[in-house]
Structure 1
Amino acid sequence: MTRVNSERSAALPHGVQGAADSNFACTLNGFSQLFPGRRFGGGALAVYLHGEPVLDVWTGYTDRRGTQYWTENTGAMVFSVTKGLASTVIHRLADRGLIDYDTPVAEYWPEFGANGKAAITVRDVMRHRAGLSQLGGVSKAELLDHVAMEKRVAAAPVNRMLYGKPAYHALTYGWLMSGLARGVTGKGMRVLIREELAEPLNTDGLHLGRPPVEAPTRAAQILAPQGTIANPIFNFVAPRIAALTYSGGFGSMYFPGMKSVVQGDTPFLDSEIPAANGVATARAIAKMYGAIANGGRVDGTQFLSQERTALLTGKASYVPDRNIFVPLSFHLGYHALPFPPGFMPGFGHAGLAGSVGWADPASGMSFAFVHNRLLTPMLLDQAAFAGLGALIRKDAARARKRGYQTVADLGASYQMPRTVAG
């Protein structure tokens, strides 16, 4: 085992910081090659085995100029990996008997029952089968107002072409989860991710939106796209297409000004988008999924009950998603990769550009990979997590066979907030 110190560890590839069990040499080499220079940003990777950390490393740069090094407390905006965090909040509430998956959402959130949605259950929503994926022509200002978006999805009619079918709720999923949780607890998802995830896991590395100025976790800059050249034809046509009832995946993701919210100082981070704007470290995500992969227990803490975690593994489904056209086997907020069979066992949630949090209860392994690239010359980023997953599984199998050592508890622990807002 290598432990972090003030100098680069000789057991790690050049430029990589952190700590790793010696069985994970192939994983470390693969990870280090994803960040070959300053213009390729930075990232972090963490692995838990049977609820214990065995790899926690980071490398590269947090800023667009390549002047600020990635550190143990750098968080990335992880896009749809955030959905896995929001889903886990719901499971924590269900563990305490506050939510039942087969109960209609409207029983917890009465406003949701409008426009023919009274029978839609929590399970329907968490399987992306509620028929509420479309944004319906929402403006950027509306989208950045999370309370307004909760009210909007509560009042929306069901898309009958999509209801009951797998149709990825790219952005609305988060407000469905936060509206449900607010109906039960009276608190917003930004607060609940801190109270239900970060605090019991004793990590500062889980935030919804921009971390507070006093938090140790700092959000890395998104490298690209940063260009400001407008396409007037696209800008005229796109909102009209997105507003159509049957606009599919485009209508579930597009809103005017969507590029601008990830530019500059990333305005996207100043709202609550529980489907997309989580800021997290790889260590914190891997720890959360480490509990799910280990009967609910991680680092000596019973984070979820064993009975609850047993419910989170779904059956493989090869039915293509109506919005993104690939089968994802969504089950209670997490997805699998059922095709090709056996390629990436387990479940979790991937995000745009390839960040991921993943659990494999069959092997007791979890991992997370985060970075700050979105659209860069590294065009394979979207699938990089699958390649890393293969290396991790191979090294984890070797570790289980030969024996392994855990690594030091790196990064900042949970920090009590100065103020709380929902």
Structure 2
Amino acid sequence: MERRKLLGSIAAAAVGSTVPASAAAGSGSGGDRSHPKPNRRSDILPTGTERIAETFSDQLERELHHGAQLAVYHEDELVVNLAGGTTGPDGDEERIDTRHVLFSTTKPYTAAVVHHLVDRGLIDYDDYVVEHWPAFARGDKRKKNVTIRHVLSHQSGLHAIPAIDDNPAVWGDPDEKERLVEEAELLYPPGTRTDYHLLSYGWIIDGLTRNVVGRQIDEIAEDAIFEPLGMDDTGIGLEGEHGEVATLVGFEPYSQITEPESPGYNAYVADLFNRPAVQHSVVGAATGIGTARDLARFYNCLLNDGEDVLSERVTHAFTSVEVEQAEDGEYTRRGLGVRFGGQPGDDFGVTASHAVYGHGGLGSIMTWADPDNDIAFAYVTNGIRDGYEHGQRVSRLGDTVRHELS
């Protein structure tokens, strides 16, 4: 696409410019922070963000993905809300209200449900899971030592549950998932090491919430987090026929491109998460469906001590370092639902400090909050690329945002 035309299309998607005010602002409570007034001038970008838009457009121009969104809050105001490209290889024009599969950036939403239940006094971080879900340890009595804190910080010893992870057919069946979690065996003693809970994070927490309040995480998140913050385009799993979702595309390494008859991992995952049955499943670790604007809104809430949806106490627990140790051969710093920056090669950006926290998702989806600079950042794409390409592009964009707004 010609660069001038591309920049023009992005400018037309600047803060609320081409979307009806109701779609851009939402309809929940939360004051001006939740409802930024749309900029009706579609031919400009907010002053001081032009270089951010150029970096954003460059990645589309180089065809790193078909479509993308970028939203940034700075000092409590939505200052960037961009969309560009298309919703898929043959898709419609990307809009700021186009919904995307959020992959692992769903996990902080799921963690927020747990923090909400702590706020209500129904659970506490150091409670054993079996105190609220007695059958949790049915298949392995050692699971009685797993605490809620262990689960939130990826130390439960259940980082994989193959009977569910490898069987998408059961992802939409909460009773069957709960039964399979109960039967699962520990892979190591809880609290002795950190292993990323790729999908089991959602299975365990959803089973916990069902046993505590009789509701799934998607319902609690909607009532306690999304609606109060005006996050009208976001949910965990699609509900009914609620709108279309951008089409995921797996971009394979060169060796795979030369062998199209042997699709690789990226193409497989794209196909899997494009399936309506998967998108409608409540997968608390991966099937968040939403927009960059809503993701940034959520992190801006955390920067503001939880506003009216989480207390300052649990927000502090949510956004504080819980564990610092090796994970899969790499040093990691994790909290109770987020991870922390400041490491070499960090995809939060080369300039990210140790105070930056957030979460990434497959397909170059990246979210973070920078308390030192009062920035909440969310970047969403529909193109799944390998780790190096993913890290390079999100790091560059994050550094540009931090440089221009700090």
Normalising by structure 1, report the TM-score: 0.76
Partner of 1:105: 129
- Which residue pairs with 1:280 in the alignment? 290
Change in 2 beyond 3 A, CA 1:262/1:203: closer
Query: Residue type of the partner of 2:195?
Result: A
- Aligned equivalent of 2:314, options 293, 308, 314: 308
Q: Which residue of 1 aligns with 2:154?
A: 128
2:250 match: secondary structure = coil
SS across alignment from 2:60: coil
The AA in structure 2 aligned to 1:290 is: N
Match of 1:14 in 2: 8
Post-superposition offset of 1:52? 2.4
| Structure 2 match to 1:417 | none
CA distance, structure 1, for counterparts of residue 352 and residue 64 of structure 2: 30
Of 344, 349, 352, the residue aligned with 2:352 is 344
Q: In 2 relative to 1, CA 113–206 (structure 1 residues): closer, same or farther, beyond 3 Å?
A: same
C-alpha distance after superposition, 1:263-321 (max 9, x if no partner): 5x454213121101111100101001101012222xxxx22222222223333865221
**Structure 2 counterpart SS, 1:201:** coil
CA contact (8 A) 1:292 1:361 kept: no
Query: What CA deviation, in whole Å up to 9, does each residue of 1:196-218 have, x standing for no partner?
Result: 222111121211223532x4x53
**Alignment of 1:332 onto 2:341:** no
| Contact 1:292 1:309 (8 Å CA) reproduced | yes
Q: Tell me which residue corresponds to 2:81.
A: 56
Find the counterpart in structure 1 of residue 34 from structure 2. none
Q: CA deviation at 1:86?
A: 0.5
Tell me the distance in 2 between the aligned counterparts of 1:117 and 1:281. 36
4+ runs deviating over 6 angstroms = 225-230
Segments of 5+ residues of structure 1 without an aligned counterpart are 1-9, 235-253, 398-422
Query: SS where residue 272 of structure 2 aligns?
Result: helix
Q: In structure 1, what is the Cα distance between the partners aligned to 2:244 and 2:87?
A: 9
With over 3 angstroms needed to count, the CA separation of the structure-2 counterparts of 1:120 and 1:230, relative to structure 1, is farther
Larger relative contact order (C-alpha < 8 A, sep ≥ 6)? 1
Distance change (3 Å), C-alpha of 1:153 and 1:197: same
What SS does the aligned partner of 1:275 have? coil
Q: 1:179 and 1:293 mapped to 2: Cα distance?
A: 29
Q: Does 1:140 align with 2:162?
A: no
5+ long unaligned stretches in structure 2: 16-44
TM-score by length of 2: 0.78
RMSD (Å) for aligned C-alpha atoms:
3.0
Q: Which has the higher helix share?
A: 2
Is 1:91–2:99 an aligned residue pair?
Answer: no
Indicate the residue corresponding to 2:187 in structure 1.
159
The aligned amino acid for 1:307 is R
User: 2:272: which partner in 1?
Assistant: 261
Query: 1:242 matched to which residue of 2?
Result: none
User: What SS class does the counterpart of residue 9 from structure 2 fall into?
Assistant: coil
Is 1:184 the counterpart of 2:212? The answer is yes
- CA deviations on 1:191-249 (whole Å, 9 max, x unpaired) are 22221222111121211223532x4x5310112369997769x9xxxxxxxxxxxxxxx
When the two structures are aligned, how many residues end up with a matched partner?
Answer: 354
Deviations 1:60-97 (A, max 9, x none): 100221x4001121011111001111111211222222
Q: 2:154, 2:340 → 1: CA distance?
A: 13
Question: In 2, distance between residues paired with 1:303 and 1:273?
Answer: 22
Deviation at 1:131, TM superposition (A): 0.5
8 A contact 1:211–1:279 mirrored in 2: no
Question: How far apart are the structure 1 equivalents of 2:176 and 2:122?
Answer: 24
Cα distance in structure 2, aligned partners of 1:273 and 1:111: 21
Change over 3 Å in CA distance of 1:303–1:180 after alignment to 2 = same
Q: Distance in 2 between matches of 1:146 and 1:30?
A: 42
With over 3 angstroms needed to count, the CA separation of the structure-2 counterparts of 1:303 and 1:143, relative to structure 1, is closer
Report the CA distance shift for 1:270/1:225 in structure 2 as closer, same or farther (over 3 A): farther
- 1:354-385 Cα offsets, whole Å, 9 max, x none, are 20221122332211111111148x96234422
Query: Is the alpha carbon distance of 1:258 and 1:30 closer, same or farther for their aligned partners in structure 2, counting shifts above 3 Å?
Result: closer
The verdict on how the C-alpha distance between 1:130 and 1:54 changes in structure 2, with shifts beyond 3 A counting, is: same
Match of 1:69 among 83, 93, 96: 93
Cα 1:79–1:229, aligned 2, differ >3 Å: closer, same or farther?
A: same
* Counterparts in 2 of 1:258 and 1:163: CA distance versus 1, 3 Å: farther
Q: How many Å separate the matches in 2 of 1:184 and 1:276?
A: 22
1:106-137 deviations in whole A, cap 9, x for unaligned? 11222213312112111111110000012335
